[in-house]
Amino acid sequence: MSKTDEYEVLIIGAGPAGMTAAMYCGRAMLRTLVLERGLAGGELLNTEVIEDYPGFEHILGWELAQKFESHAKKFGAEFVQETVTCVRKQDDGTFEAETESGTLYRAPAVILTAGGTPVKLGIPGELEYAGKGVSYCAICDGAFFKGQTIAVVGGGDAAVEEADFLTRYAEKVYLIHRRDELRASKILQKRLFENPKITVLWDTVVEKVEGDAQGLVTNLKTRDVKTQEERDLAVSGIFVFIGFRPNTGIVEGHVAHDDLGYVVTDQNMETSMKGLFAAGDLRAQLTRQVTTAAGDGTTAAIAAEKYLKALKDEGGVPMIVRTGGYAV
């Protein structure tokens, strides 16, 4: 290992939950490190406009992400762009986070806010044409499809919202859904059905992605699940929004979770592993929004602070001394 850095709290993931937790940990004068494999923001970076975060009637996703990050840094939280490969609990009760670079970060408390990864269709051609017409991020790739015909797969909020967003670039958008009704919120459905550029293909699944000699997507093989009728759909791109899996596999050892793999916590966001807290999209809960992620992060940070104080009072893991308001 290249080196070992010690903190009081490690936060794995810099989405809304992680950055809110970082802000509150910083305010509590805890030496806090946020580890994020990419840019800070999480799903905010995959959302063009946020309209349901109190105090911001209309704000760009990346802009809100920057505000979260700068606020957390203002109170002393540190951010490092590293991919965490493993979080393990040591015999002395502290945690160790190992990264791809070989660096070890240690702390007596960890807040897991690593979100999830997009669920793939698992069909022929999907991986082959990834980045060449197959995408999981409308904001990232939408501009490449100006004036073209594309497809969006899914029926939830993300699929419906992104289908509407993609009409800013594409001439025509097919929304492909395997059922005969959408799961998205009513207001998003209303926008979808009122958009003349969108055609919904009900009871339909995509079975294969095809491309041309240049390796670019040109066609989708689809099937009606009720009639079994097969159809070729000429498109130059396909955007997949069928959900995501929580990134909980980095934790070594068993942590209680539900049937879908989402981490189960108590009311203090603490998991079944003492000292390990979870917040945001990877936690089992009713809804996953920026507001709920921020609330989770707040609770997790305050609970972590109390956990560390209890350890200190019990003569366990000592708190790291701070001087002048900053960790040393």
Catalytic residue ranges: 137, 140-141
How far, in Å, are 26, 50, 272 from residue 253 at the CA level?
28, 37, 11
Please tell me the distance from the alpha carbon of residue 145 to that of residue 133, in angstroms, as a whole number.
9
**In the structure encoding, which two tokens stand for residue 172, read together?**
């025509």
Q: Mutual orientation of helices 16-27 and 290-313 as an angle, nearest 10°?
A: 40
- Written as one letter, the residue type at 244 is F
Please tell me the distance from the alpha carbon of residue 275 to that of residue 41, in angstroms, as a whole number.
25
Using only C-alpha atoms, what is the Rg of the chain?
A: 22
How far, in Å, are 55, 146, 315 from residue 50 at the CA level?
11, 23, 45
Parallel, antiparallel, or unpaired for β 59-60 and 49-50? antiparallel
Contact 111, 18 (CB under 8 A): yes
Contact 80, 34 (CB under 8 A): yes
